[in-house]
């Protein structure tokens, strides 16, 4: 957890309290006071989102190595190993991933998680469908981990290949927290070469 996650939660609480207070002023007929609170809320939100966007513009892409762990809350993923095999007309990567739950009390699974490979030309390579692989939303008990594999078919000329772990679909909560990526930053990458 970064410093900015509790700050975000505090700002959400302040926003809710401000909206409830403004609504109470409206009910009492104190429209000028409610409008003043509303303007302050809009200005504060604009400043906050300007900071979120500015940080996303200047923050470099995070790069990880094979073996490094990336966590979203208490659910974590790590590339354990990756092997490239040439098989005409394409090449393939077999990637072993470790999924873990570092929570102490709650089972966790991660909905909306996707992994894909990308290369120096920014081509995207999704994993080959395989019903035998462990899905990312599998509920892991606290303190447990499990290994799973994904196979990727890539172009033979693919260079500087890396694995991207990100979330797709749902609410992109990282877009609302300072330094969590989103707006203009590229997702973190695990370099496989």
141-157 pLDDT, tens digit each: 999 999 999 999 998 88
Cα angle: 24, vertex 13, 55; to 5 degrees: 130
Residues 6+ positions from 51 with CB-CB distance below 8 Å: 178
| Measured distance CA(79)–CA(152) in Å, rounded | 14
pLDDT tens digits along 114-134: 899 999 999 999 999 988 899
CATH architecture, domain 63-191 = Sandwich (2.60)
> Is the model more confident about 12 or about 175?
12
Q: Determine the straight-line distance between the first and last CA of the chain, rounded to whole angstroms.
A: 30
Residues 6+ positions from 3 with CB-CB distance below 8 Å: none
pLDDT over 70 at 158, yes or no: yes
β-strand partners of 72? 75
Could you say which DSSP state residue 60 is in?
P
155 exposure class (CB count in 10 Å sphere: 0-12, 13-18, 19+): middle
pLDDT tens digits along 55-84: 888 888 889 999 999 888 788 999 999 999
Q: Determine the pLDDT at residue 5.
A: 84
Sign of the alpha-carbon dihedral angle for 98, 104, 109, 115: negative
pTM, to two decimals: 0.77
The distance of Cα 31 from the centroid of its chain, to the nearest Å, equals 41
Residues 6+ positions from 147 with CB-CB distance below 8 Å: 80, 96, 97, 98, 99, 134
């Amino acid at each position: 957890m970064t410093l900015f996650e509790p700050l975000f939660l505090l700002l959400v609480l302040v926003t809710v309290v401000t909206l409830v207070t403004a609504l109470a002023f409206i009910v009492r007929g104190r429209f000028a006071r409610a409008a003043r609170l509303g303007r302050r809320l809009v200005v504060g939100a604009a400043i906050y989102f300007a900071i979120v966007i500015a940080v996303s513009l200047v923050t470099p892409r995070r790069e990880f190595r094979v073996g490094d762990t990336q966590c979203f809350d208490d659910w974590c993923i790590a590339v354990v190993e990756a092997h490239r095999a040439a098989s005409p007309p394409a090449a393939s990567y077999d990637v072993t991933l470790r999924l873990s739950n570092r929570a102490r009390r709650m089972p966790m699974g991660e909905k909306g998680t996707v992994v894909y490979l990308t290369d120096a030309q920014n081509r995207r390579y999704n994993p080959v469908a395989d019903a035998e692989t462990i899905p990312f939303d599998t509920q892991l008990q606290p303190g447990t981990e499990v290994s799973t594999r994904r196979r990727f078919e890539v172009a033979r000329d693919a260079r500087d290949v890396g694995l991207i772990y990100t979330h797709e679909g749902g609410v992109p909560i990282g877009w609302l927290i300072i330094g969590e990526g989103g707006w203009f930053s590229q997702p973190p990458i695990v370099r496989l070469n």
